[in-house]
Amino acid sequence: MTKPGKERNENKYSDVLIIGAGIAGLCLGIKIAQRFCDKKIVILSKDRPGESNTRYAQGGIAVVTDLKKDSFQQHIADTLLAGDGLCNEEVVRCVVKEGPDRLKELEEWGTVFDKSSYGLDLGLEGGHSAHRIIHKKDKTGFHIIDSLLRMIARFPNVEILWNTLAVDLLTAEDKENNQCIGATYIPNNSNKIRSIQSSFTVLSTGGIGQIYSVTTNPNIATGDGIAIAYRAGAKIRDMQFVQFHPTALDAPKEDTTFLISEALRGFGAYLITRDGNRFMFKYDKRGEMASRDIVSRAIFNESLYQPVYIDCRHLDKRDLITHFPNIYQKCLSLGLDITCELVPVLPAAHYLCGGIDTNLCAQTSINGLYAIGECARTGLHGANRLASNSLLEALVFAHFCFQDIETRMFRFVETVFPSEILIIHNSPSDKLLAIQSKLKLTMSEKAGIIRTNEGLMAGLDIVRELSVELELVFQEFGMSWMFCETRNLLIVATLVLQQSLNQKENRGTFYNYDNQEVVNPILKHHV
C-alpha cells in the first residue's frame, strides 16, 4: 500500500530502536543508555513529551512492600483470581516478585511517592486483598513520566524524535526466520516517510482505546504497535479481552473522557443508583472492591434502568480532597463538588489485556523484535487485568527486555534498506474522520461490554466495508499520517472482532450472550 518516490532515502541508524515513550519505553531506554554508553538509542514518540497512556494513570503501581500485612503469594493469588483462570502463573510469579526491585529503581531515578508515618502510603483498589498501591495523589502516572523524562535527558546517546509516527517494520526474510531490522516513520512536519536501521526494535506503543467512542485513552492510542507487528507477521493473541474501566465520568459535553480512579472506591466511596441503592453486593461479595470486569458489567446492567453514581458524601471532606485533588478539581470545573454531590459514571474502554504475543524476555515471534507495555500480551493479565498491575508489568518487562538485549548487544545484523523514500500526501481528513467515526460507533455497539455472535459478525462486515473505503482513499490521495492511524484502527478492530468470535467461554472482561456460562472454580460470580 505504499508508493515509492524519486528521492534517495536519508537513513538513520540505531543500536536499539524503541517505538513509544510511555513508562515501558522510557525505562528501557534509560537502562540501555546506562549500561552501554557507546550505543545509540533512538525513541520514536508520536506526540509531545509526556503524552502517553502512562500520563493518565491515576491509581498507581501494585507492589508488595509491607510483608507484615501483605505477601507475594497474596498478590499472586489476587492476580490469578482477576485473570479468571487464563493467566500464565509463571509470568505472574516473576512479575510480582520482581516488583520491589523495580519500584526501588524508579525511586532512584527521581520518582517520589506519597508517604505516611509508617513509610509508603499504600492504597487499596478493586480485586486486591491488601493495601499495596504505591501512588502520588491521583496523578501517579504524570509524576512517573515527568521523572523518567528528566532522567533520560541525562544520556547523550539517547535521541528522542517527538511528534513522529512509526509506519511499518522493516524485515529481512530468509528461509529460516523473519528478522526485524528497523522501521519506517513519518518525521515531525515532514511529507516523507523515512527508514531507520536497528539491531533491536522494541514496540511500546500502548493500547487501542480509540477504536471505541468512549475511552479513557488519549487520542494517540490507535493500536499502532499491534497493527504494524501484525502486518509484519507477528503473532497477536487475546484481543477479545478489552477491559472497560467501570467509572469514567459521565460528561457527554466533554471532548475527552475523564477517569474516576478505582482508588476512590478503595478509599471508601460507594456505587449507587439514582434511588440511592448500593447495588454491588448483589453481584459480588466484595461489593465495590470486586474486580473491574464484574463492576463494569454490574454498572452496565444497572444503567439499563437508571443512572449510576459514585457517592463520596459520607467521606471526610479534607481527606478526600487531599488524596484526590485532581479528581476533585476536574469535577469542580464541571460544576460537581464530589464532597457533597453524586458523581455520574459509566464504563469506558480502558485497557487491552491481549496484544503482541511475547515470552518472559519480551521477545515476539519475529527475531529482533520485542514488545513491552500495554501493546504486549505477556500472560500476566489473563482475561482481566488486576488494577494497577499495568504499570508494574511495564516496569518489570522493560527490565526483562533489557536483560535479553544486554546478552545480545554485540551481534552484527546485516541489513538492506529501500533505496527510495516514500512520498506522503494529504489525505482528505473529512473522509478519514468519517471512517474513524463509523468504526468507533460500530465497535461500541458490536464489541463492547456485552457482545453477541450476530453483533460481532455484523461488526466484521462493517469494518471490511470501511477497509475498502480506506483503500479507495489511498488510491486517490496516497499515504498520510491520518491514513496510517486509520489503517491501524481498522486492523486492531478486525482482530478484536475475529478473536471475539473465536472465544467460546465467558471469561473476565469477555461476555457474549450466546456463549454458555462457564463456572470457573477459581472465580464464581454472576451477571
pLDDT computed for residue 59 by the predictor: 84
Are 224 and 302 within one domain? no
Residue 51 pLDDT level (bands cut at 50, 70, 90): confident
pLDDT (mean) for 60-69: 95
Provide the domain limits for residue 285: 247-348
**Domain end among 348, 375, 390:** 348
Are 420 and 510 within one domain? yes
Interval 317-331: pLDDT, tens: 999 999 999 999 999
| Cell numbers 504524570: residue | 142
CATH number at residue 254: 3.90.700.10
CATH number at residue 212: 3.50.50.60
Taking 80 as the threshold, does the pLDDT of residue 437 lie above it? Answer: yes
pLDDT (mean) for 126-132: 93
Euclidean distance between CA atoms 380 and 367, whole angstroms: 22
Are 213 and 293 within one domain? no
SS3 at position 339: coil
SS3 at position 493: helix
Tell me how far the alpha carbon of residue 19 is from its chain's centroid.
14
Amino acid at 345: V
Euclidean distance between CA atoms 273 and 263, whole angstroms: 20
What are the DSSP calls for 369-392, one per residue?
EEE-GGGEE-SSSTTSPPTTHHHH
Helix (H) or strand (E) holding 247: strand 242-249
Are 338 and 391 within one domain? no
Are 274 and 321 within one domain? yes
**Domain end among 295, 320, 348:** 348
Listed residue (328, 334, 340) closest to 251, CA to CA: 334
Residue 523 pLDDT level (bands cut at 50, 70, 90): very low
Helix (H) or strand (E) holding 323: helix 317-323
**pLDDT > 70: what percent of the chain?**
93
Are 47 and 122 within one domain? yes
What are residue 12's DSSP bridge partners?
Answer: 196
Are 317 and 333 within one domain? yes
SS3 at position 350: strand
pLDDT computed for residue 27 by the predictor: 98
Q: What is the 3-state secondary structure (H, E, C) of 58-125?
A: CCCEECCCCCCCCCHHHHHHHHHHHCCCCCCHHHHHHHHHHHHHHHHHHHHCCCCCCEECCEECEECC
Q: Cite the beta strand spans of 85-191 per DSSP E.
A: 115-116, 119-120, 122-123, 133-134, 158-161, 165-173, 178-186
Are 325 and 384 within one domain? no
Interval 74-100: pLDDT, tens: 999 999 999 999 999 999 999 999 999
Q: Which of 51-60, 385-394, 408-417, 494-503 has the lowest mean pLDDT?
A: 408-417
492 to each of 33, 315, 509, how far by Cα in Å? 32, 42, 17
Are 364 and 227 within one domain? yes
Q: Which of 98-107, 306-315, 340-349, 507-516 has the lowest mean pLDDT?
A: 507-516
Are 188 and 226 within one domain? yes
Residue 524 pLDDT level (bands cut at 50, 70, 90): very low
Residue 1 pLDDT level (bands cut at 50, 70, 90): very low
Euclidean distance between CA atoms 478 and 166, whole angstroms: 17
The catalytic residue positions are 292
Taking 80 as the threshold, does the pLDDT of residue 412 lie above it? Answer: no
pLDDT computed for residue 67 by the predictor: 93
Number of domains in the chain: 2
Are 15 and 96 within one domain? yes
pLDDT (mean) for 212-236: 96
**pLDDT > 90: what percent of the chain?**
81
What number of residues does the chain have?
Answer: 527
Interval 449-458: pLDDT, tens: 999 999 999 9
Between residues 4 and 339, the one the model is more confident about? 339
pLDDT computed for residue 306 by the predictor: 93
SS3 at position 16: strand
**Domain end among 305, 327, 348:** 348
Q: What is the 3-state secondary structure (H, E, C) of 17-63?
A: EEECCCHHHHHHHHHHHHHCCCCCEEEECCCCCCCCCHHHCCCCEEC
Residue 30 pLDDT level (bands cut at 50, 70, 90): very high
Residue 5 pLDDT level (bands cut at 50, 70, 90): very low
Amino acid at 367: N
Residue 427 pLDDT level (bands cut at 50, 70, 90): confident
What predicted TM-score, i.e. pTM, was given to this entire model? Answer: 0.92
Are 123 and 68 within one domain? yes
Listed residue (456, 477, 475, 464) closest to 435, CA to CA: 464
